[in-house]
Each structure stands twice: as structure tokens, then as C-alpha cells.
Structure 1
Amino acid sequence: MKSSVFVSARIIAAVIVTLFMFFPIYWMGVTALKSPEELRLAVPTFWPEKFMWSNFLNVFDKIPFARFSLNTIIQTVGIVVLQINVALMAASAFAKGSFIGRDKLFLLVLAALIVPDQVVFVPVYVMLSKIGWLDTYYALIIPHAASAYGIFLLRQMFRSINNDVIEASKMDGANRMQILYKVLAPMAMPTVVTLLVISFIGSWNSYFWPLVMTNSDKMRVLTVGLAKMRDSIGGNEALSFHLLMAASVTVIIPIVVVFVFAQKHIITAMSNSTFK
């Protein structure tokens, strides 16, 4: 009896917490579908009186949304591809390689986790300025080519793989790259997918770095574009707030879709990421 009451209490608590966490997203969605007149009502409505799907199209008139989307996609794909490949090669070296100072070098990689972008952006900005990379895709992608956290995750996963698998692959004539991409990577697929999701979300949501490294609309990304749109409607929130919410909904949809399809891999990877 007590156990059933306890289980019921846990379910009720989980539902309440979920509703509290989901409500801001719900409110953003319904606001994106309201008209300016409905937003100005004294008593807010929890469901649109009339669905204004045109709000999503009107966003393109406020900012160059298509260009910002293309820049964001290029930045995100570039960073994800580089981070995964660099992490795979570095993690396999730290987990299965044998060279002088391996563990000390790995500690240096872990130390990079505590260094935020705000600390290094000045020297990186100066360096990119000198080589003429500012306001280019190179400035958005190359500085984020390596992920210390991704190397850590994959290194922990690779250490759990028996060395006999690698020896058997060598006996079959596989070289190092074939072992990495055809043997180790498939066995570490949950961790690879987790890194992909983390890298995707971090790149898609990046704001500070693109803001500093770009200075023209042709290179702006969605996060910077949303901030620009918010600033442009300053003082007229009641007239354009629905457009800002429509743009925000459009921006978060890819993140939600990627997370929903990859969540089972994330749980598996996190359970295997203990420090060994």
C-alpha cells in the first residue's frame, strides 16, 4: 500500500514539474500564433482566438531570416563535423595509444573545460584579424574545431572496449583509420550521437562568439538576428512581440527534433562516461 502511494506521489510530482518546465515553451508557441490585438488584451488568453500562421512568414520581412538560417546551418554543420572527427582521433589516441606523456596531455585537455570563451576571445580575435578571417565562416567554425568534453566522453567509451577487438582488426589487415571509423566508432555510437547532439545544440545556440566575430548581416546567425530583431522593436513590443516569438519558435524546432530522436543514446552514453 505504501509503495503504491509513493509511486503515485512520484508520478504526480513529475507531472507537476514537467508542466512548470513546459509552460514557458507552450506560452511562446501560443504567443507566436496570436494577433497584435489579442496580445494587447487586458486579460491574457491561454489559446489563440485565431491562429495567425502568417506571423511565421512575416518574420522574413523583419530580418534577413533566410540568410541568418543558412549561416547558422553552415556554422553548425562545420563545427559538428570537425568536433566529432577531432574527438574520435584524439580520444582513440588517449584511450588506446601508447606514447610518452599521454595521461598528462589528457589532463591538459580536461583543463580546457574550465576556460570559457570570454577568456580566450581577445587573443583569438586578434589572431583572426591578422589573417583576415573576421566576418567569415572560418571565424565561426575553426576556433571550435575541437571539443575537450567530446574528447573526454569518447575517451571514456573507448577505454571500455576490449583491446582484443583492435588486435583482431589488425590481423584482418585494417589500418588505424579503418579501425577507428569501422570498429571503434560504431561500438561507441551512443557516445558519438551524444556528442553530435551536444555539439549541435551548442553551435546552434551560440551567440557571444558570432556576435564578436561577425559585423555584417551576410554573416550573422539566427541568435544574433533574434537579438537584432528584439532591439529593432524596442518600445513597440505589443505590436511585434508575436513576430519575435514566431522567430524564436522556428529557431528552437531543430533542437527539439534532434534531442527527441537522440535522447536514448544520450542516456546510454552518460551512464558509460564515468572517469576511468
Structure 2
Amino acid sequence: MKSTMMLVSTRTLIASIVTLFMFFPIYWMLITALKSPEELRLAVPTFWPETFMWSNFLNVFETIPFARYALNTIIQTVGIVVLQINVALMAAYAFAKGNFMGRDPLFLLVLAALIVPDQVIFVPVYVLLSKLGWLNTYYALIVPHAASAYGIFLLRQMFRSINNDVIEAAKMDGANRMKILYRILTPMAMPTVVTLLVISFIGSWNSYFWPLVMTNSDKMRVLTVGLAKMRDSIGGNEALSIHLLMAASVTVIVPIVVVFVFAQKHIIAAMSNSTFK
């Protein structure tokens, strides 16, 4: 009994230490965002702001076109999330419940797409979008990411776990394929759908490489590219402007934290059903 309690205490201690190490950079970013430039220049760093400078968050909007970057990021993220979820739902339904020639080899090709990074395909895609006249537009930010191979895999695994009798009963009632998918299967797979939504949201919100190469004006830049531009603009003067950079960074990560906190139970439920079948 004592050995068991000691083991639990040791695990708790280790978990607490790891959590502190992982949380400390976020904590430091937050308190830096709330400090004044004078406090940041002190020889000995302070672990708690002497004066909370909430105005730093407002000053970010005056330093860079933050509102425009945020609008672009929201449009990009919403567009990608909506497309990825709908494409994944339809493709997963076909791979899980469809019966057509080449179904399994095609699914293997989808899985193969998981190992191909954007950096490998961006040159031909860039040339294609250039010929279409889509560079520096929302089309270039959204359309190339309309499909998610991981999302298709995740939903396929969920749909395969649903008994075919449910679908046959819906067909007997006169439901077509789209009604079966969106009114029956999607509610049953809601934890997985929410998980895909969160993954797609985080990936789109944090996207940096693709918006960087596809846009070249402040009118179309997203938050990640805007923060990088802001960082480069204060090169050599970090002590004077690092509080603004940290304030902008905190503002950017808040939506991700909020979405993850509200959706974490769905993510756990979905991952428990995502084994390969």
C-alpha cells in the first residue's frame, strides 16, 4: 500500500514539474505583455509586473494594422474549417460505407498525403494559383487547404464503427445520402467532428508558411505573418518594444486556448475511437 502511494506521489510530482516547465514560457509571455518598457530594462528581471500596463494591448493596434490581420485570419480560418469538415465528411462516408472499385487503394493514397508537407508542393501550387490570378487573395489562402487527409482518416474510422443497420433504416424511410450523412451520421460522430474542427482551427489560425508565400501586402497578411513583420521591424530595439510583441502574441493565442478548453472532452472521446480498422 505504501509503495503504491509513493508511486502515485512520485508521478504527481513529476507531472507537476513537467507542467510548470511547459507553462512557464506562457506565463513569462503574459507578464512581459503587462510590463512597462522601464521595467523590462531592469538588470534583475521581475516575476510579477510592478504596474499592470493594460494599455499595451491597445497600443498593438496602433503599431501594426492588427485589426486587418485579425480579419484576414478569421476569414482564412473559417473558410478552411468549413471546407475541410464538409470535404472530410463526404470523403469519409464514401470510404467507410461506400462500395466502389479502388476504394481501399484510393484511401491508401489519402493516407500517403499525410507524409507530404506543404513545402514540397508549394512551388507547383504557387505556379497554378499565379496563372489563375489568385495570388494575394483569400482563394490562395483557403482553397489549397480545402481537404484534410487526417480529417478524412479520423472520420472514416468513426463511420466504420457505426452499424450499417442505421443507414439501411434511414434508406427505408426515404432518406438520401446527404440526409443520412448530415442528419444521422454527423450527429453520431459529433465528438470526432468537433475534434477535427479544433485541429483545423488551430492549424489554420497558426498557419505561417503558406500565407507568407501567397500574400505580399498588408491588406492580405494574417496575424502570424504580421507578428513576424512586427518582430523584424523592432530588430535591435527589443528592449523598447518587446512588451508590444508579447501583447500581440497573447492576443493571438487566446482564441486557441478558449477553443481547446471548451472542446477537450470531445477530443478525448474521439481519439479513443480513432484506432485503425
Q: Which amino acid aligns with 1:71?
A: N
Tell me which residue corresponds to 1:85: 86
Deviation at 1:173, TM superposition (A): 1.4
Query: Once the 2 structures are TM-superposed, how far is the Cα of residue 2 of structure 1 from its aligned partner?
Result: 1.1
Residue 4 of structure 1 deviates from its aligned partner by 1.1
What CA distance in whole angstroms lies between the structure 1 residues aligned with 2:7 and 2:106? 48
Deviation by residue 1:126-168 (Cα, 9 ceiling, x = unmatched): 0000010000000000000000000000000000000000001
Q: Secondary structure at the match of 1:133?
A: coil
2:23: which partner in 1?
A: 22
Shift of residue 99 of structure 1?
0.1
Structure 2 distance, partners of 1:174, 1:79, is: 29
Alpha-carbon shift at residue 10 of structure 1 (Å): 1.1
Q: CA deviation at 1:5?
A: 1.2
Looking at structure 1, the residues matched to 67 and 20 of structure 2 have their Cα atoms a distance apart, in angstroms, of 33
SS class of match (2:27): helix
Instruction: State the match for 1:152 in structure 2.
Output: 153
Partner of 1:70: 71
Match of 1:219 in 2: 220
Partner of 1:263: 264
Distance 2:266 2:22 in 1: 23
| 1:37 pairs with 2:38 | yes
The whole-number CA distance in structure 2 between the counterparts of 1:159 and 1:127 is: 36
Residue aligned with 1:218, SS: coil
Q: What letter is aligned with 2:107? A: F
Tell me which moved more, 9-18 or 27-36.
9-18
- Give TM-score, length-normalised by structure 1: 0.99
CA deviation after TM superposition for structure 1 residue 49, in Å = 0.1
Letter in 2 for 1:87: A
Q: For residue 98 of structure 1, what is the amino acid of its counterpart?
A: N
Task: For 1:273 and 1:172, locate their aligned partners in 2 and report how far apart those are by CA, in whole Å.
Answer: 30
TM-score (structure 2 length as normaliser): 0.99
Question: Equivalent residue of 1:217, what SS?
Answer: coil
- Distance across 2 between alignment mates of 1:255 and 1:85: 21
Give the structure 1 partner of residue 249 of structure 2. 248
> How many angstroms does 1:87 deviate by?
0.0
Aligned to 1:198: 199
Matching residue's letter, 2:270: A
Query: Which digits, 9 at most, give the CA deviation of each residue in 1:100-132, with x for residues without a partner?
Result: 000000000001011100000000000000010
For residues 56 and 78 of structure 2, the distance between their equivalents in structure 1, rounded to whole angstroms, comes to 28
The amino acid of 1:11's aligned partner reads T
- Quick one: distance in 1 between partners of 2:63 and 2:123? 32
- Mapped to 2, the partners of 1:131 and 1:84 lie a distance apart of 25
Q: In the comparison of the two structures, how many residue pairs are matched? A: 276
Quick check: 1:12 aligned with 2:7? no
After superposition, the CA RMSD in angstroms is: 0.5
Moved over 3 A (4+): none
Amino acid of the structure 2 residue aligned with 1:108: L
Cα distance in 2 for residues equivalent to 1:206 and 1:121: 14
Aligned to 1:46: 47
Shift of 1:62: 1.2
Which structure 2 segments of 5+ residues have no match? Answer: none
Structure-1 separation of matches of 2:77 and 2:87: 15
Alignment deviations for residues 244-266 of structure 1 (CA, whole Å, 9 cap, x no partner): 00000000000000001111111
1:234 is matched by which residue type in structure 2?
Answer: G
AA in 1 matched with 2:181: L
The percentage of counterpart residues that share the same residue type is 87
| Alpha-carbon distance in structure 1 between the residues aligned to 2:47 and 2:170 | 60
Letter in 1 for 2:8: V
Distance in 2 (CA, whole Å) between partners of 1:156 and 1:128 is 33
Distance 1:14 1:126 in 2: 48
SS of the residue 2:69 aligns to: helix
The aligned residue for residue 180 of structure 1 is: 181
Number of the residue aligned with 1:118? 119
Cα distance in 1, alignment partners of residues 165 and 209 from structure 2: 45
3-state SS of 1:219 partner: coil
What SS is found at the alignment partner of 2:89? helix
